[in-house]
Amino acid sequence: MAENKTQATGASVDEFLAAVEDPVRHRDGLRLLALMREITGKEPEMWGPTIVGFGRYHYKYESGREGDAAAVGFSPRKASLSLYGLTYGPEAAELLPRLGKHKTGAGCLYVNRLDDVDQAVLAELIKAGYRHVTTALHSP
């Protein structure tokens, strides 16, 4: 069975974020770094070349495929900020309509800028997503 493409790399989170050229994405990346570190209590680590993840969980599907993944994370991509792990928990259905300007798709939450969303709601989504992924969805 093929290995998961997105794995922890050991690369420097600080170097990755320092290389983000767009000033808004750079600033938002630093803000998310601080927020997710505070909420999860975990140190960030790079997953693949572009995802900053916090915590990890082990998944195993009925197909037999299994591996480890970041519990929550983000990537300051050119088109938008991609946030991972925040839409799985049952609280997401109630929180997302209150978040502000965003899109969802393929298990991701996309925002153009952090200033476009309610910071308190975002913090709740991070808390709920992290809790759900590490306790209910899969084993830590």
The predicted-structure confidence for 73-96, as pLDDT tens digits, reads as follows 999 999 999 999 999 889 999 999
CA-to-CA separations, 108 to 3, 12, 35, in angstroms, rounded: 21, 23, 18
Give me 89's structure tokens: 């928990």
- pLDDT for the residue 60: 78
Give all strands (DSSP E) within the chain, no chain letters.
44-47, 51-60, 66-76, 81-84, 103-105, 108-111
Of 21-25, 48-52, 61-65, 92-96, the range with the lowest mean pLDDT is: 61-65
Q: The pTM is what?
A: 0.91
- Pairwise pLDDT comparison (64 vs 2), residue with the higher score: 64
